[in-house]
Structure 1
């Protein structure tokens, strides 16, 4: 996004913050290096068959189909974009602030993993975004290796300049993040990025190809991809500094974006390229040189908005507003003032720009706001902290620092959204990387809400945990992260009103959670999910904690259930649910929770009748803690769940069609599927193995990383609008009776030698009610005769040309040879079943013995110079050019080193044009794929 950000989705090297003695007992100053999200190890390592995302080159976009995209069937988002409530100024933290200002947040998802970007996994320390209430658009600044790049090419221990593999120009949103964004009314935006260094020889020209009718096939595919994966638009970052955009291509570029916008997709352009010459020239304001990429005099509206580069001042932002108005555009919809997270923009010294410069004479933002890299609050924990470690963001015990830094970024240095602007009186002694010179985002953006209707439920689940709890008990003792099941975040973190000491508020992740020195509560964990809300401290005056901005209607059947746990001793205090009604927003109506001053000995649920407020609308709700005239030391109250309902949300039916898709016995992985109901009926599906929680998602399929037991029962429940679960659909399974230890080796001709180990005992799988059809029973007729044959079926997947090979072998056999297989390295699924049993699965890639020679017509010769076009070969790795038998050398991006070959993704675009040393020399071109196959083309 700037010259400082020529790393693949990385925040630049920044200067260290100071850790105070109040936090760590020592002062440590060090250099902070933002870097890759390194692959997790041990139990948290990515599963062998775990679906993960990849990037896309222009050619891969052009050839994209839903069926051929690797893992595409398991990486779709399904939650529809939810409508947001109308603005209601009376319940805003800053009532005078205009709600029309928008925020475009460009950040990582769970991090910046090149081969480990998964929708969910068993690791607590992933970054979980928790401030959707201030965000209108979430886009993904991420490095993703293009499809097919072997993971072996990535060495996490090497510098980021030594990544010799290809990154795609497109990364699409993580589906779990899209689901979470949509749940909160936020649009999820894919990212298209062209850069000399980061994308090597890839250029916008490959994207702008047109067919004979003048259409843009890549744009058409981008629209199809957005619909299939359920995201909402594209961000264009055109930063090819060396070449820029050729003047003759500028109109085509605009038409390309206009096509996407006309398809209903949101399109934002980055302030990098000027309209007159196409050269890279950051304007840092909206003016006549960049506004035609939003509003063109000939084409009309070609994009929705622009992300301004960061070096602006008050006059430039005022002029930006005025220029937008002169074009008939709303600057709060069109112009986004860019803010770069990290560096000196969040620390103890003066920042180089100030969002106060974006305020007009009435204190209102003149333009909307865009931020890059807000996840630096997590990424910048990768630093040496006196112990030699450089990957603290991957360590559970340091996650509390991310949470504190997050609140400083969003709620301001006082960690209070009603006091979000920096001031000299702020107590910063216990805030790691305090952001003392930073106004929180809440100072400029009003909070939004999707909580409406007459039903609402929350368990204060932030989307990850050190354990998973159900009804206050540990259901699964493994750590996890899954933003799919994140509850609607608390609107204000934290807005506490009190005339005395203010209580502290935190999320309680349980006894093994390291919460930092600023908190001293007893960690008890969650009621449901991974966390509960905990309030503690000295209670010497009434404290009112505002939690949610809402638009909830109350009727004669409305009830509110509150589940709480008071581990501190019995006292005189009382707990109330505080309701703020739309018709009297200055007044808090307290509904008392009976006997709430008593120590609870665990979780307790109380039902409160709200029928007295029939006909009213709840505009905000919170909790009130009253000492009733006493001063109570070490007060603590955990809130596990709030559930408001009126009976209109029916309990869903048990899910149907629940079955095993892939039983990967070699690795204890499993893929299951079921019939998905409309989001109006079901908000989530929860899966269990032998009663222990496995995970949840709104989808029709789920990947289970590791079965705890080889046999037992899988079950699934549907979750309704008020948080209630359906009855379970139970699926018995027994993998002990299936073949084990499947192994596949390939001969030199591509034939597959398959071996396995037969079970000691074979049992009928008739208990599988979803799979045991009449057809299955027919297959099992000869079971009693001891005549169970073994069926092998190999199918290719993620390909445009499916292939199937079946083979039946006699009972007792433990090996077979599959012949006549494709030899192009395609992905395959091998199913092996004994008799009529359900099969078990092995996956891999077929032997790759094929390579297509480089087409000579792709070489352009002009004035003695040879220019090589990138071949269409999907698994191309290297290109050798031999002149008189001697390999030419080619320069790569980032470093001055040259290689005796062109390396996919890293050789400079300019290096693809060369002049032979002699007019009479021989020229030979050899291409090599990832499998090591080579093919030769004689150029002359």
Structure 2
């Protein structure tokens, strides 16, 4: 049943049923979907804590619950937080600035620029013990379709753990690399989920000078941690008009401070002007004061509860415009937590195909694409499901499925890109993997995830233009040149096939070159680099590529790199612009199918190794479950650095990859002494945007 059509009176009854069978409701990740639909809360089940390990931060506003916290949970109030006293700040601080984006000519005729946007509310892990810097598993929601998203909310919070969540650094760094702002979450839960009205009063409390100290703290946290603002969700009932007035004042203060620091505030449709909670599914007189009042903007956008209808969305958009606001600052909530693309949604009420979009889209819990897979799920299975969610059943945004019940974002929302400066490189690393590769060699056999290491991935996955049989294009985790994955083209190739990779705005000069690192596992295959110096004339038209020979690959010859100069594309001009990059593959003599692997693509004028980091040091150690845990830090290298990589130097002189981060601190768990090792030695290297690597700096500790 569409939540927008669920009778309002069913809420308490359905919650009662849920609570009767949920002994852990107090530590549940309840949220607006649970409040609106009665969906069963997701129990927070933190893994066993690693010694000295940093985790994403969470707080109560001020007062704490009665009793004692559960295992692995730390209770603390935000009001007393100070950056100087935060021992995990170096691990949680994002390092990648928010990149500017551009919108290329849409890849199909139904996607539109400048209309509906997409907000995505994602729970990447439990509230407590959500690792600050990834973990040793590839089973992770490695969000990769940033090209359709305009705002990401780091969802979570519970009455038994904490209500205010700061996003962890890997999520923010990956989002920023793709131009997507990330909001922390403030969740004041319904009483049925352990919510206490005192926590709402704590949030909006005034100081003797009439200020709102928690608004100030929220901005301090966002600036210190490097994310982009807050999603405010006040769902604890029982308030009055005075409390609503205080909430309005709190929001005004929060937005004023946020605006001065380039931050955003999104309000969830819950509290009304009377101070109670009544989900409207609309912007109307009952909640307008939290969006805009007589003095101006109160929040930057509003997430409308799932109970919208075509009529309420239409009236909401009209009201927003009458207030002088953009109708696309309203997100129509679509709950996909339980059923994903099987959800019945009145898409024409939000993003009709035959007239302007009504409001924007707000997805609640799209990590369903991972969660719905069975135990033992693989990264490849996850990306196949995620591609279907964002691109549609056709798996090709240039020919999207508009007839099915699921209207994927690629059908209606134009994709964006941040590939606009040199050097640009990608190793097609999705931010998780079954092992770690360096120049085609496995340097760690440990599964891993860390979104901060994710590359900017092809923004049109997967457009394949051919007059013959269409081969499959995927991210593959069985082998890679660098990181955890490579791009694999696999299948019949009865005619040349052009694969779109990146929409770009890269400057082109006589010095610009492209390096391709690739391999043929079956073939042979003839490879051409596809380069466009202009965009298609109309939406949906094929990119006007020029094709540059890049070699013929034969199976069994291993990885190789081709360097191609682009100066011939200038046509006598001193400079130009590369608007798109792709590949054209043709089956070689005697071949009817291919298995082609692209490990890296790099566009640059010249490459130089980055400077090394300085002063590597071990800042603390602690006994761990099977060894010793280390906290390491170093000083940032001068100049541009994409990220840092850490290795352990083994007694035989070989190196084992431990992890990487765009930041300057890292936690290494469970280190054990090797045979004959008198001291453990760590090395840190800088990695540039072109994947050039600095010399190593090291530190050690005797056993």
Q: Would you say same fold, with TM above 0.5? A: yes
2:82 maps to: 65
Instruction: Say whether residues 1:200 and 2:203 are aligned partners.
Output: no
Matches within 5 A, 1:605-616: 605-614=561-570, 615-616=575-576
User: Could you tell me which of 683, 689, 697 is aligned with 2:642?
Assistant: 683
- The alpha-carbon deviation at position 578 of structure 1 amounts to 1.0
Matches within 5 A, 1:498-537: 498-510=466-478, 525-537=479-491
2:134 maps to: 120
What SS does the corresponding residue of 2:29 show, helix, strand or coil? Answer: coil
- The alpha-carbon deviation at position 305 of structure 1 amounts to 0.8
User: Could you tell me which of 531, 538, 552 is aligned with 1:595?
Assistant: 552
User: Could you tell me which of 512, 515, 519 is aligned with 1:561?
Assistant: 515
**CA contact 1:554–1:616 (8 Å) conserved in 2:** yes
- The alpha-carbon deviation at position 283 of structure 1 amounts to 1.8
Instruction: Say whether residues 1:295 and 2:314 are aligned partners.
Output: no
User: Could you tell me which of 252, 276, 281 is aligned with 2:278?
Assistant: 281
CA–CA distance in 2 between the matches of 1:664 and 1:712? 14
**CA contact 1:345–1:438 (8 Å) conserved in 2:** no
1:674 maps to: 634
Cα distance, 1:308–1:13 mapped onto 2, change above 3 Å:
closer
Q: Number of residues paired by the alignment?
A: 639
- Partner deviation per Cα, 1:129-172 (whole Å, 9 max, x = no partner): 1111111111122246xxxxxxxxxxxxxxxxxxxx72212111
Cα distance, 1:735–1:72 mapped onto 2, change above 3 Å:
same
CA RMSD in angstroms, aligned pairs only: 2.6
Cα distance, 1:65–1:403 mapped onto 2, change above 3 Å:
same
Matches within 5 A, 1:190-589: 190-195=184-189, 196-201=191-196, 202-241=198-237, 243=238, 245-263=239-257, 264=259, 265-275=263-273, 277-297=274-294, 299-332=295-328, 334-344=329-339, 346-347=341-342, 351-359=343-351, 362-381=354-373, 392=375, 395=376, 397-423=377-403, 437-510=405-478, 525-570=479-524, 573-582=525-534, 586-589=543-546
- Partner deviation per Cα, 1:445-487 (whole Å, 9 max, x = no partner): 2111111123210000001111100000101111111111011
CA–CA distance in 1 between the matches of 2:40 and 2:306? 21
CA–CA distance in 1 between the matches of 2:646 and 2:471? 37
2:702 maps to: 735
**CA contact 1:11–1:35 (8 Å) conserved in 2:** no
CA–CA distance in 1 between the matches of 2:665 and 2:330? 40
Instruction: Say whether residues 1:133 and 2:147 are aligned partners.
Output: yes
CA–CA distance in 1 between the matches of 2:183 and 2:344? 28
User: Could you tell me which of 47, 54, 58 is aligned with 1:51?
Assistant: 54
Cα distance, 1:36–1:532 mapped onto 2, change above 3 Å:
farther
- The alpha-carbon deviation at position 555 of structure 1 amounts to 0.7
- The alpha-carbon deviation at position 70 of structure 1 amounts to 5.4
What SS does the corresponding residue of 1:289 show, helix, strand or coil? Answer: coil
What SS does the corresponding residue of 1:219 show, helix, strand or coil? Answer: helix
1:638 maps to: 597
- The alpha-carbon deviation at position 307 of structure 1 amounts to 0.5
CA–CA distance in 1 between the matches of 2:381 and 2:30? 20
CA–CA distance in 2 between the matches of 1:122 and 1:274? 44
User: Could you tell me which of 664, 667, 682 is aligned with 1:703?
Assistant: 667
- The alpha-carbon deviation at position 268 of structure 1 amounts to 0.7
- The alpha-carbon deviation at position 661 of structure 1 amounts to 1.3
What SS does the corresponding residue of 2:388 show, helix, strand or coil? Answer: helix
What SS does the corresponding residue of 1:659 show, helix, strand or coil? Answer: strand
1:693 maps to: 657
User: So what's the TM-score if we normalise by structure 1?
Assistant: 0.65
CA–CA distance in 2 between the matches of 1:491 and 1:583? 15
**CA contact 1:538–1:632 (8 Å) conserved in 2:** no
- The alpha-carbon deviation at position 677 of structure 1 amounts to 3.8
Cα distance, 1:188–1:365 mapped onto 2, change above 3 Å:
same
CA–CA distance in 2 between the matches of 1:569 and 1:11? 51
**CA contact 1:33–1:380 (8 Å) conserved in 2:** no
- The alpha-carbon deviation at position 104 of structure 1 amounts to 1.2
What SS does the corresponding residue of 2:193 show, helix, strand or coil? Answer: coil
User: Could you tell me which of 88, 98, 104 is aligned with 2:113?
Assistant: 98
- The alpha-carbon deviation at position 421 of structure 1 amounts to 3.2
**CA contact 1:503–1:538 (8 Å) conserved in 2:** yes
Instruction: Say whether residues 1:717 and 2:702 are aligned partners.
Output: no
Unaligned runs of 5+ in 2: 5-10, 19-24, 63-76, 538-542, 650-654
CA–CA distance in 1 between the matches of 2:339 and 2:138? 29
Instruction: Say whether residues 1:88 and 2:82 are aligned partners.
Output: no
Cα distance, 1:170–1:578 mapped onto 2, change above 3 Å:
same
- The alpha-carbon deviation at position 10 of structure 1 amounts to 5.6
- Partner deviation per Cα, 1:21-80 (whole Å, 9 max, x = no partner): xxxxxxxxxxx988346445xxxx542221113421111111111233453342221222
Instruction: Say whether residues 1:617 and 2:631 are aligned partners.
Output: no
Instruction: Say whether residues 1:604 and 2:556 are aligned partners.
Output: no
CA–CA distance in 2 between the matches of 1:494 and 1:583? 18
CA–CA distance in 2 between the matches of 1:574 and 1:443? 32
What SS does the corresponding residue of 1:79 show, helix, strand or coil? Answer: coil
- The alpha-carbon deviation at position 720 of structure 1 amounts to 1.7
What SS does the corresponding residue of 2:482 show, helix, strand or coil? Answer: coil
Q: Which moved more, 1:665-674 or 1:632-641?
A: 665-674
What SS does the corresponding residue of 1:705 show, helix, strand or coil? Answer: strand
What SS does the corresponding residue of 2:562 show, helix, strand or coil? Answer: strand
**CA contact 2:379–2:433 (8 Å) conserved in 1:** no
Q: Which has the higher contact order (CA 8 A, sep 6+)?
A: 2
**CA contact 1:98–1:364 (8 Å) conserved in 2:** no
CA–CA distance in 1 between the matches of 2:590 and 2:166? 54
- Partner deviation per Cα, 1:821-878 (whole Å, 9 max, x = no partner): xxxxxxxxxxxxxxxxxxxxxxxxxxxxxxxxxxxxxxxxxxxxxxxxxxxxxxxxxx
User: Could you tell me which of 26, 38, 42 is aligned with 1:35?
Assistant: 42
CA–CA distance in 2 between the matches of 1:269 and 1:214? 23
- The alpha-carbon deviation at position 616 of structure 1 amounts to 2.2
Higher helix share goes to which structure?
Answer: 2
**CA contact 1:580–1:621 (8 Å) conserved in 2:** yes
What SS does the corresponding residue of 2:312 show, helix, strand or coil? Answer: helix
User: So what's the TM-score if we normalise by structure 2?
Assistant: 0.86
CA–CA distance in 2 between the matches of 1:256 and 1:96? 38
What SS does the corresponding residue of 2:348 show, helix, strand or coil? Answer: helix
Q: Which moved more, 1:96-105 or 1:169-178?
A: 96-105
CA–CA distance in 1 between the matches of 2:43 and 2:427? 32
- The alpha-carbon deviation at position 255 of structure 1 amounts to 1.7
CA–CA distance in 1 between the matches of 2:402 and 2:110? 19
- Partner deviation per Cα, 1:779-833 (whole Å, 9 max, x = no partner): xxxxxxxxxxxxxxxxxxxxxxxxxxxxxxxxxxxxxxxxxxxxxxxxxxxxxxx
2:652 maps to: none
**CA contact 1:553–1:616 (8 Å) conserved in 2:** yes
What SS does the corresponding residue of 1:451 show, helix, strand or coil? Answer: coil
- The alpha-carbon deviation at position 550 of structure 1 amounts to 1.1
CA–CA distance in 1 between the matches of 2:535 and 2:186? 46
**CA contact 2:489–2:595 (8 Å) conserved in 1:** yes
- The alpha-carbon deviation at position 199 of structure 1 amounts to 4.2
- The alpha-carbon deviation at position 491 of structure 1 amounts to 0.7
**Structure number with larger C-alpha Rg:** 1
